[in-house]
C-alpha cells in the first residue's frame, strides 16, 4: 500500500504515522510519500517521521518529494491537508471581517470563504492529477473548509474523494471523557454540513441516554453554552457558537490580545522546534495545544474500511443524493455513510431537528454559490454568497468587504484576474 500526504509539512503529519503504527497488522503500508511546497518544513518532517517510525519498528519506506505527480502516482490513498497562503493568510481572514464587527474565523463566514477561494483551485489540480495518475486511488481530504473543497472536487472532477473532519466522532469522544464509555457503545443521528451539524437520538448500548447523561455530554462541548444545548435538545458542533452566540463571540475575539491564527503561529514554532531536534523521536508536547484531535483515527478508519472491505459506519462529507430531502442532490453534506471497498453510501437521515433545517439550508446556499465563485472567479457570485451567508448578509458590508478581501488575497486568486 502506498499512502501519500499532500501538505506533509503540517504539524499533524506524525499523528497519521502514529495511527499507522497502531494498525500495522491490518494495514500493510509499504511506502509513505511526503509532499510539500515548503522544502524546509518538508525536510524537517521527513527526518522526524523516519526517526519516529524507526523507534517504533515500523517497517515502511518514508521518503519526500516536491513533485506532486510523483506523490500521487499509483497512490492507494492521498491524504490532503494543505493551507494555501499559510497561517499568515489565516490571520488576514480573521482580521478583515472583525474590522466590520463580523465573525473572523478560518472556515466560517467571510474569512472561511477566502480560504475556500485560495484552496479550491489547488485541490482541483490535485484531483485532476489523481484522475490521470491514480484513478482508483482515494483522496482523504482534511483540507479546510472540507465541505466546500469536497463539493468542488465532486462537481468538477471524477476523482474519488472522502471529505472528513474529526467532528463526526466528537460525541463519542465526549462520552469517553465524561463517562468512560468506549466509542463502539455510542451511536447517534448526525445531520448537517461541515462545522455546522446537529447530533440527536444519542444511545449507549442501544438505549437512549438520560437527561443527566445528555447534560454531561453537552458540558464537554465547552465552545457552546450548555444551557443553549439543553434548550435545543440536541448536541451541536462547537462551531455553532458562531451562529447562536455571534455577538458575544465576536466581542470576545476582539478583546483578545491575538487571534487564533496568531496563537497557532506561535504554537507552530514550538512544535517545529521539537520536530527539528535530531535527538527527538516523539511527538512534541505542544502539539496537544494545536487542536484537531481525532483526525488521524478517522482517516485510518476510512483506509481500513476500504482496503480491508470492512463495512463501517462513518460521518463523511458526500453528495446528498436525497439523504436530506430539502437540499439538492449535488449538495455535499456531512452525514453518516456506510463505507467499504465500494466507497461511501449515504444513509437516509431519519431525523432533522426542526429548529436547524433553515440554518442548514441557508449555509448550504452560501456554500454552493461560494464554490461556483471560487471556480469561475466570479465577483458577482462572491457577493451573492456573502449575502446568502447568515453571518454576513448586510449589503453595505458586502460592498466594503469584497474589494478588501480580494486585494488581500490577490497573490492566491489567479482565477479572479485581479
Q: What angle do CA 322, 243, 106 make, to 5 degrees?
A: 90
d(CA 373, CA 25): 45
Question: Pairing relation of β-strands 2-6 and 77-80?
Answer: parallel
d(CA 227, CA 216): 12
What's the full length of the chain, in residues? 418
Helix axes 146-156 and 109-133, enclosed angle (nearest 10): 40
Judge contact between 76 and 57, C-beta under 8 A. no
Burial of 200 (0-12, 13-18, 19+ CB in 10 A): middle
Helix (H) or strand (E) holding 339: strand 332-340
Q: Coil, strand or helix: which one is 344?
A: strand
Q: Return the DSSP state at 79.
A: E
C-alpha distances in angstroms, 68 versus 15, 118, 150, 302? 22, 18, 19, 23
Which residues lie across from 32 on neighbouring strands?
A: 3, 62
Burial of 311 (0-12, 13-18, 19+ CB in 10 A): exposed
C-alpha distances in angstroms, 235 versus 107, 207, 238? 20, 17, 9
85: phi > 0 → left, psi -120 to 50 → alpha, else beta; which? Answer: left
**Which one of the listed residues 35, 190, 239, 243 is annotated catalytic?**
239
d(CA 189, CA 200): 5
Please list, in sequence order, all residues whose beta carbon lies within 8 angstroms of the beta carbon of residue 43, skipping any fewer than 6 positions away.
64
Residue 295: active-site member: no
- Spacing of C-alpha 405 from chain mean position: 22
Which residues are known to be catalytic? 239
Amino acid at each position: 500500500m502506498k499512502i501519500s500526504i499532500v501538505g506533509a509539512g503540517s504539524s499533524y503529519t506524525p499523528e497519521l504515522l502514529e495511527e499507522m503504527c497502531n494498525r500495522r497488522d491490518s494495514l500493510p503500508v509499504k511506502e509513505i510519500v511526503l509532499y510539500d511546497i515548503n522544502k524546509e518544513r518538508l525536510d524537517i518532517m521527513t527526518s522526524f517521521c523516519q526517526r519516529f517510525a524507526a523507534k517504533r519498528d515500523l517497517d515502511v519506506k518514508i521518503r519526500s518529494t516536491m513533485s506532486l505527480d510523483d506523490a500521487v502516482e499509483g497512490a492507494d490513498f492521498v491524504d490532503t491537508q494543505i493551507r494555501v497562503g499559510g497561517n499568515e493568510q489565516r490571520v488576514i481572514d480573521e482580521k478583515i471581517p472583525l474590522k466590520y464587527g463580523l465573525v473572523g474565523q478560518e472556515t466560517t463566514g467571510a474569512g472561511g470563504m477566502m480560504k475556500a477561494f485560495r484552496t479550491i483551485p489547488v485541490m482541483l489540480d490535485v484531483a485532476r492529477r489523481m484522475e490521470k495518475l491514480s484513478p482508483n486511488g482515494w483522496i482523504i481530504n482534511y483540507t479546510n473548509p472540507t465541505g466546500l473543497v469536497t463539493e468542488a472536487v465532486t462537481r468538477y472532477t471524477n476523482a474519488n474523494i472522502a471529505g472528513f473532519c474529526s467532528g463526526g466522532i466528537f460525541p463519542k469522544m465526549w462520552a469517553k471523557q465524561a463517562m468512560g464509555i468506549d466509542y463502539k457503545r455510542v451511536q447517534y443521528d448526525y445531520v448537517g454540513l461541515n462545522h455546522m451539524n446537529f447530533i440527536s437520538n444519542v444511545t449507549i448500548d442501544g438505549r437512549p441516554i438520560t437527561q443527566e447523561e445528555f447534560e454531561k455530554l453537552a458540558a464537554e462541548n465547552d465552545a457552546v453554552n450548555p444551557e443553549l444545548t439543553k434548550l435545543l435538545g440536541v448536541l451541536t458542533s462547537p462551531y455553532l457558537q458562531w451562529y447562536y452566540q455571534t455577538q458575544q463571540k465576536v466581542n470576545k475575539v476582539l478583546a483578545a490580545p491575538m487571534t487564533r491564527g496568531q496563537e497557532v503561529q506561535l504554537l507552530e514554532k514550538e512544535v517545529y522546534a521539537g520536530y527539528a531536534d535530531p535527538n527527538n523521536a516523539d511527538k512534541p508536547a505542544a502539539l496537544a495545544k494545536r487542536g484537531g484531535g481525532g483526525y488521524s483515527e478517522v482517516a485510518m478508519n476510512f483506509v481500513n474500511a476500504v482496503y480491508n472491505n470492512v463495512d463501517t459506519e462513518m460521518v463523511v462529507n458526500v453528495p446528498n443524493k436525497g439523504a436530506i430531502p430539502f437540499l439538492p442532490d449535488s449538495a455535499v453534506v456531512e452525514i453518516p455513510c456506510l463505507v467499504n471497498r465500494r466507497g461511501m453510501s449515504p444513509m437516509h437521515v431519519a431525523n432533522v431537528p426542526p429548529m436547524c433545517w433553515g440554518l442548514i439550508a441557508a449555509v448550504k446556499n452560501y456554500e454552493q454559490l461560494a464554490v461556483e465563485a471560487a471556480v469561475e472567479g466570479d465577483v458577482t457570485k462572491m457577493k451573492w454568497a456573502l449575502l446568502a451567508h447568515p453571518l454576513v448578509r448586510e449589503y453595505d458590508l458586502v460592498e466594503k468587504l469584497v474589494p478588501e478581501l480580494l486585494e488581500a488575497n490577490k497573490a492566491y486568486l489567479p482565477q479572479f484576474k485581479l
